Amino acid sequence: MAIFILLILTSLSIAGREALTLSECGAHARRPAFFALPEYTDIAVVCGTSSIDLAIQVCPVIYTGYNESLLFLNGIQNNVDCKGTMDTSVVPPVLRFSFPISEGIACGSNFLTTSAPGTGIFVDFSNIQTVNVSGVIRSFDPTIGTVTYNAELKYYYSCAYPLEYLVNNTQVDVSSSSIAMKDNNGSFISTLSMALYKDINYTTPLVIPQLGLELRTNVYVQVVASNLTSQYFVLLDRCYASLSPQPSNSTFFNLFVSCSKHPLTTMLENGDSQKARFYFPAFRFIEQQNETISTYFLHCITRLCESSTCSTFKQCNRRKRSVDSTMVKEGLTEPSVLTVAIKAKSENPSLTKEKAQSGGKSDSRSTSVGLGIAVAVLAVLGVAAILAAVSFYRKLNQLS
């Protein structure tokens, strides 16, 4: 009986303070589901960009015979950073865990990176990676003896992060833009942004004039990851321009695909840190030759690779597309994208000017032809006059 009372006190006391009681749980105090396993709704998982947050309902834990001090993340009991924090400000109350997404300090979580061939917009790439971060929170039974009547509780969590994203921006007069994907698996795309600059030091944002950029003006592009765990670097797999913000069935021009780079594209940094930089001279699409301003959209397929493996993706042994202009046949599969528009001046002469120049050349040619004919006629008449004079002179000599 003394041992049983000791166990009850242990389950209700944490380091000298009273834990949450069944009476305080009220209607939320319930038995776990079938075979004493927690229900799926008993744990909430938030897959953040730099950390993973877990929240476990405490009342079913107390009902089972445990308390918040007896739940451990991946069996780690002596690390304060890996212990849960009680939150009674919400209904029902929960025990919160939070740990960074970085191997070695992720409280014993497992990291598994898988690869698969690309599909949809990533069809040009044969190795698309996803990292899965997983683990389990288990209950610890303090019972001393041969048998126990407490069921073991297990709460599994898993976050899958794709490491390849399509980043395209719509505005160029802002320094950066980002979006967050709402899903249960988590996404790093909210950390990614693309911005244009006017200098090679990337200090002055590029503001597109109303009449567009001058042709051959250098456009400096930067894709950066902010608030992202330091475990991953930014690697641009492909950047291209298209006539449509959604480049399905649109003419496009590749600035680079993997190692295949257009001669006028200069890569400054790629796959070496949490930012990638390159620049190219402003151009125009011939398809828009009759328009005063050539407007097109810049897109970058961006890979997040582990800092230790980025060098393998920079090798030139992956499938890649030609740098020629062609038509996109595949549709976009990403539901949310950012777009950057670039306007370049079409420096062709105006149509009226062309007509004026063309008309001037035609008049000059016709004048030259008429003058030649007049000279020829005068020459013939002169010769005829000379012959007539000679003939008349001979007749006069004969009469005399």
pTM for this entry: 0.61
Q: CA-to-CA distance for 30 and 356, rounded, in angstroms? A: 89
Q: Which CATH superfamily is domain 164-345 in?
A: Zona pellucida, ZP-C domain (2.60.40.4100)
Give the pLDDT of residue 378: 65
Give the pLDDT of residue 160: 93
Q: Residue-wise pLDDT tens for the chain (400 aa)?
A: 333 333 333 333 333 334 666 666 755 555 554 444 445 678 899 999 999 999 998 888 888 788 888 899 999 989 999 999 999 888 888 999 999 998 889 999 999 999 998 888 888 888 889 999 999 998 888 878 776 767 788 899 999 999 988 877 533 332 233 344 333 578 888 889 999 999 999 999 999 988 888 889 999 999 999 888 888 999 998 999 988 887 666 788 999 988 888 999 999 999 999 999 999 999 888 888 788 888 889 999 999 988 888 888 877 654 544 444 433 333 222 322 345 778 877 755 444 334 334 444 444 444 454 556 665 656 666 666 676 666 666 655 555 5
Sign of CA dihedral 251, 256, 260, 263: positive
Identify the burial level of 63 via C-beta atoms within 10 angstroms of its C-beta, where 0-12 means exposed, 13-18 middle and 19 or more buried. middle
Residue at token pair 């400000």: 89
Do you find a cis peptide bond into 209, omega within 30 degrees of 0?
no
Same fold across 2-161 and 164-345 = yes
Give the pLDDT of residue 158: 93
Q: What are the residue ranges spanned by the domains of the chain?
A: 2-161, 164-345
Q: CA-to-CA distance for 100 and 49, rounded, in angstroms? A: 9
Q: Indicate the CATH number for domain 2-161.
A: 2.60.40.3210
Give the pLDDT of residue 204: 94
Nearest to 136 by CA among 215, 54, 58, 59: 54
